[in-house]
Amino acid sequence: MPGITREEVAHLARLARLELKSEELDHFAGQLDDIIGAVARVAEVADQDVPPTSHPLPLTNVMRADEVRPSLTPEQALSGAPAQEQQRFKVPQILGED
């Protein structure tokens, strides 16, 4: 079973969009290693022929009638936006410099 290195934590942080500080990488590497070492026990059942359960209820698609109903106004929808312009969410540039 694995050991989580500082480099792997940095990779996970990039995937998870977390700009971790250098000291956090060391701190989390030790802790994630402990946690994964403990939870890896689930692999005991990996070879068993058991169907997976993703949800406690059988999930079915739920539809509603295609009717207009009250919803948020544009002002309400934008009320928590960090920045807005022309009744739209204003975001930083989507493409970086490189």
81 touches other proteins by CB under 8 A = yes
Binding other proteins (rule: CB under 8 A), the pick from 22, 23, 64, 68 is 64
How far is the C-alpha of 52 from the C-alpha of 32, rounded, in Å? 25
Integer CA distances (angstroms), 22 to 12, 19, 28, 68, 96, in order:
14, 10, 10, 51, 23
How far is the C-alpha of 46 from the C-alpha of 30, rounded, in Å? 26
18 touches other proteins by CB under 8 A = yes
Binding other proteins (rule: CB under 8 A), the pick from 3, 5, 26, 36 is 36
Q: Is 84 helix (H, G, I), strand (E, B) or coil?
A: strand
50 touches other proteins by CB under 8 A = yes
Residues of this chain that interact with other proteins (CB under 8 A) are 4, 9, 12-21, 24, 28, 31-32, 34-36, 38-46, 48, 50-57, 59, 61-62, 64, 72, 76-77, 79-83, 89, 91-97
